[in-house]
Amino acid sequence: MELLQHPQSTKPIVVITGVTGYLGSHVLEQFLKDGTYAVRGTVRDKNNEEKIAPLRTALGQELFHQLTLVNADLLDPVSIDHAIAGADYVVHTASPLPLKQPKDENLLIKPAVEGTLAVLRAAHKHKVKRVVITSSLVAIMSPEKELRKETYTEQDWSEPKTQDAYGKSKTLAERAAWDFLSKLPSAEKFELVVINPGAILGPTYVNNGFASGEFMSDILNGKFPRMPKLMIPVIDVRDVAKAHLLGLKIKEAAGKRFPLCEKSMWFRQIAHVINQKLPGYNLNEGEMCYCLIKVVSWFDSSVKFILPIWDTPMYFDVSITENVLGMKQLISAEDSIVGIAESLIKQGLVKDKRRVK
């Protein structure tokens, strides 16, 4: 593995978008601790203390003071351009991810696609050397039976017309990124790296309003009398953040997609981990029947998108991530589950029902 080389006199500048987000805050921490780059982080409002304070607390004063914060909005290309001006590299993590599907899918698709293109246009304009983008495994897997595979690789692409709003937003945004790069003249091309994580779990620095936290809160709060018969690919937020750093630093990463999954788990297995590691929640590890979820889908259109993947195994070949990024030892899915649960309990977002065995 070959690392990109930089002059030692001054640190190259990297812009990281969405640094107050669940993933973005961890990516920021990785880059600041690494020390190779001067880090500029984008936020919607750098004077919003409710958003900035958890970041300052998580990083500590020493690291936080090494950070330059700038205002930027995904739907304001001028602000994106201003944030990226003078940068050598960009890591684009910012993208909306709600747990509940919006009535208007464009509320997700528009900021994802237009925000990504705004970042790439600014990167091109300011002659950025490399851009790392956060995509998702939903841009790789396909829920429809005709397109479904048991094991997916970085060569696979999902079909947007079969996806929910979030899936479409990630797939269309990543497609737009590769298409944008392909249309540039050879002399003007920059390097593009895409990170495709599964369901991101693990400890959080942000207090609320992020989908992984809402997902785990629903499980811990007993929203499911029985577990949905669904399998999800689990990856720890710290490993996803590390992949972004390595994706920027490793020369051979250019032009590649990197799927990230430590283990694919059924909901019942997630419930079992919680019952074993956090006794007191007493989650029912039994599974819902298909007929119930089918009836629910008649009244809740957002549920219909999980019907094709009901009782469907899905696995991911992450060989390229292991071989190119060198990520062969990942944080276990079990530790990721416990990590996010304990964070939510500590922050008071979930009632502490733990008992000592």
CA distance 94 to 120: 13
User: Residue 212's closest CA among 305, 52, 97?
Assistant: 97
CB atoms within 10 A of CB 198: 26
Which of 170, 229, 242, 256 is labelled catalytic? Answer: 170
Cβ distance 11 to 37 under 8 Å? yes
Q: Give the phi and the psi of residue 215 in degrees, each rounded to 5.
A: -60, -50
**Coil vs helix vs strand at 344:** helix
CA distance 75 to 114: 7
CA distance 314 to 151: 6
CA distance 7 to 246: 19
Cβ distance 337 to 343 under 8 Å? no
Cβ distance 111 to 105 under 8 Å? no
Cβ distance 220 to 344 under 8 Å? yes
Cβ distance 101 to 165 under 8 Å? yes
> What amino acid occupies position 54?
P
DSSP codes, 26-81: HHHHHHHHH-SSEEEEEES-TT-HHHHHHHHHHHHHHHHTTEEEEE--TT-HHHHH
58-75 core/surface letters (b: 16 or more CB in 10 A; e: else): bbeeebbebbebbebbbe
- The answer to whether residue 110 is catalytic is no
214-245 core/surface letters (b: 16 or more CB in 10 A; e: else): bbbbebbeeebebbbbbbbbbbbbbbbbbbbb
Active site residues per annotation: 170
